[in-house]
A and B are shown apart, each in its own frame.
Chain A
Amino acid sequence: MTTLNTSIRDAWSDRITSTLRPEDPEWVVSAKREAAELIRSKGLPTRRDEDWRYTDPAPLLEADWRVGVDGPTPPPTEEDIRAFTYWDASAVRVVFLNGRYVPELSVHRTRTDGLSVVPLSEVMAGKHPSVESLVAQQLTADRPAMDLLATGGARDGLVLRLEDGVEVEGPIHVLCLTDASGDDAYIPLFHVFELGGASRLTLVERYANLASSPRSFTNSATDILLGPGACLDHYTLEREAERAIHLGARHVRQEDRSEFRQTTFTIGASLARHDTEVLCDGDETTTSLGALFLGEGTQHIDHRILVHHRGDQSRSEQLFKGILDEGSTGVFNGRVVVDEGTHGNDAQQSNHNLLLSDDATVNTRPQLEIYADDVSCSHGATVGQLDPDSLFYLRTRGIPRGQAESLLTYAFASDVVDRIRIDFIRERVQEFLSTRMEFGNTSEMTQ
């Protein structure tokens, strides 16, 4: 890894150590110090790294971010976050504001035996010894430098553990908000989800801002461990403020027969980067990744994916769709690796992009790296505009050009939208899309 100017590297290293507190237990101190040291020794990515080829990390690393920003006083009320809390069906809602747990707004509606949901801040304060070793282990796991900035700097996040065989009814909702006091703030978050054998969970991570539009830098890392036969349906909805920077990294490890389903919607932030690394360690795992990203203005949206097949007889699929308007840029950097000595893996990858403006750009790199012959792998990528034949067909039926274009754009996005199994969210996303595409009621579209 090539190094950025050392003073910037040192500044980040210092930012991490500055989050240490006198009362921190030894395992927290050593993890943070190790992260700080690694940043100093390994350095930070530059555009010369293949993973950052199409997204220059320099501007976001060079800016003078503040760490340890306090939440507003008084803290927001239920009323203030009403726009994000329509989750009547959610079993548990956990709210973070500017990277801090907000107990007043977090709700445990239903208690499920075998489910523990606690904030990282409390774990670090020694209040939940049962998950300490899990967190300590994940804190020191090997990860890219940019993610180390998140895990090393984080003082909060969600730690979730689900015992073997437990099924949680209704989704768990993790709401990460930023408000005006988050201006120029660096907001690291670290979430750890461990699902025991044959357990089932639906989880929604949402990133948004309260009314004002802070210029903030959210850097969240989410570690997901799926035990044998565990099943996680995971959603990430990212709509940060237009001046915000959002980095989100997910590291997933799957054991035998586990199923990981992830659907990501990226709408906000000036720069949004979503990294997903899935290690299919076990046999017969299922991985399904889908994403829809919509760019406008000068937004830059980057998805980097790695699906690494290390076991046998596993299946993975990726469906990433981008709609880029105005001067926005979309990046897809997806990689599938199938290890030597594995058998019967099936990996499919597709990325499709629509360019709606003369100034929009798409850079896409679907990659297959295959070291075993007993595989079936494929990828496809397209970049283009709406299909002229479809457009003509709709117009010959009397549908005006503008409406026909909206209809086709909506249709383009529909297979990602249809992945959402939580009706309420799917409907909201549909509503959002129909407003964005400037056409009427879409409820009939998806019957």
Chain B
Amino acid sequence: MSSDTDHIEKVTSQDYEWGFVTDIEQEKLEPGLNEGVIRFISAKKGEPKPLLEWRLAAFEAWKTMEEPDWAKVGYPAIDYQSISYYAAPKNDDDRPKSLDEVDPELLETYEKLGIPLHERAALAGVAVDAVFDSVSVATTYKGKLEEMGIIFCSLSEAVREHPDLVLKYLGSVVPVRDNFFAALNSAVFSDGSFVYIPKGVRCPMELSTYFRINAADTGQFERTLIVADEGAHVSYLEGCTAPKRDENQLHAAVVELVALKDATIKYSTVQNWYPGDKDGKGGIFNFVTKRGLCKGDRSKISWTQVETGSAITWKYPSCVLKGDDSVGEFYSVALTNNHQQADTGTKMVHLGRNTRSTIVSKGISAGFAQNTYRGLVRIGKGARGARNHSQCDSLLMGSTCGAHTFPYIEVKNRHSEVEHEATTSRISEDQLFYLRQRGIKEEDAVNMIVNGFCKEVFRELPMEFAVEAQKLLEVSLEGAVG
């Protein structure tokens, strides 16, 4: 308990620990979006022609689409012409080849983030791909992974080195026209991670990416593509932060996962974008499309997310369970405080026989925040023997916040079972009293109870992430009690 207490005391003086701005020379495109911008981004990355055409087609599609308004979030209209669509550290031409060559100040940035890149990587056996603003900076352990045939690099590098592989799967799970933000991302995505695990290979370490938006007035549009070939196994982690700024910044990422026969992909996120200040000023608009395709029989995709940041979160990591006996999982903790708004959940689309899915969602709302779970479970006509179980619990802290649960359940096969349960309540007075009576101070007691409430989800996270997530929760709840 004492270390937690220290931690809380430490953070009382700093609302958003990660809200510094790194002073590095940036190469940044002027705000605005047109065909020229897309051609510039594509040229900058030396992309093959088909990819440029794909981007342009996405841009054409995007122009005809409407920004979605069904989510339970409110925000001023976004002027897509006032955003810069490309920003990279300036020393782009001589990109660092290894960590030693990385700009020391950038490394320091990661230190400040609490992510001592090399140290942590070495200790935890984590291979890290860091995306700073829009450009992938460094990928560690690349060589070691290459020996096993594993490709883990930035998407731009993958486009150059493995164009066939990238073009085969890019947009195959999240089509260009899937939604407004996905179309925008397809047009302007700057970088992101690419992972390919060959047949039968079990990736020996956690793969990890850290994202950070640094430059002002920029949007970040990273794109991640992970392909696990037959029988392959990979666990992937992603973390994100952004500096404190008074303006809202847009983050519209796309993540696509493809699991072939007998493959398993585990994708964990700790999202801690800048949430805005206590009065709701500033913060990231986090409009993200994440979807996994369980393409082969017995494949499995598991999403785990801890969402504590962003002014607005609009995010539904989903699974399309196409292969027979495939499995989809979604474990989520979403915490909103002050004026944060989150509309998050998942879609489990059962197409194959005996497909199974599990949804565990824990929403915590404090201050003036609105926290919504929105999820779809669809059992298709051919999904004989499909099973789903969903559990969505919400915890309210304070009388001015909201917690909402909007499941959509569509069942077209009688030989299936779908169960959905949800509860909404506040922290139990009895539990709180019991802990306080035993001498635990209120704030710690609340943290204990909240952590207990989220345990089912934290359990799914890799060890060091679980610790980080737990701390984040405590920090984010700062001021929500008493």
Contact = CB atoms under 8 A, between A and B. Distances in A.
A–B direct contact (CB < 8 Å): yes
Interface of A: 50, 340-341, 353, 355-358, 360-385
Interface residues of B, number: 35
19 contacts: A340-B402, A361-B411, A364-B411, A366-B405, A366-B420, A366-B422, A369-B404, A371-B402, A373-B396, A374-B399, A374-B426, A376-B423, A381-B407, A381-B419, A381-B420, A382-B419, A383-B417, A384-B417, A384-B419
B405 A341 contact: no
Secondary structure at chain B's binding surface: helix, strand, loop or mixed? strand
B383 to A, nearest CB: 12
A360 B399 contact: no
Interface in B30-82: 70
Contacts of B406: 365, 367
Contacts of A370: 394, 396, 402-404, 424
Contacts of A361: 410-412
A436 to B, nearest CB: 18
B418 A384 contact: yes
B409 interface: yes
B413 A358 contact: yes
| Interchain residue pairs A-B with the least CB separation, the first 8 | A373-B396, A355-B414, A373-B426, A384-B417, A377-B424, A383-B411, A368-B405, A378-B423
B409 A377 contact: no
B13 interface: no
A311 to B, nearest CB: 15
B100 to A, nearest CB: 52
Nearest to B381: A358
Contact of A340 (B399, B412, B418): B399
B425 interface: yes
Interface string B248-277: 000000000000000000000000000000
B370 to A, nearest CB: 9
Interface string B135-171: 0000000000000000000000000000000000000
Contact of A385 (B381, B401, B415): B415
Contacts of A373: 396-399, 401, 426
A209 to B, nearest CB: 30
B416 A383 contact: yes
Contacts of B94: none
B400 interface: yes
A353 B401 CA distance: 33
Contact of B424 (A364, A378, A381): A378
B6 interface: no
A270 to B, nearest CB: 20
Contacts of A365: 406-409
A375 B409 CA distance: 25
B405 A379 contact: yes
A375 B425 contact: yes
Contacts of B405: 366-369, 379
A135 B381 CA distance: 48
A264 B444 CA distance: 49
- Residue with the highest number of chain B CB atoms closer than 10 Å, among A358, A363, A381, A385: A381
Given A377-B425, A383-B379, 13 more contacts: A340-B400, A353-B411, A355-B414, A358-B381, A358-B413, A361-B410, A365-B408, A366-B422, A372-B399, A376-B423, A379-B420, A384-B419, A385-B415
Contacts of A369: 402, 404-405
A358 B414 contact: yes
A317 B123 CA distance: 53
B421 interface: yes
Contacts of A362: 409-411
A52 B420 CA distance: 22
A367 B404 contact: yes
Contacts of A358: 381, 413-414
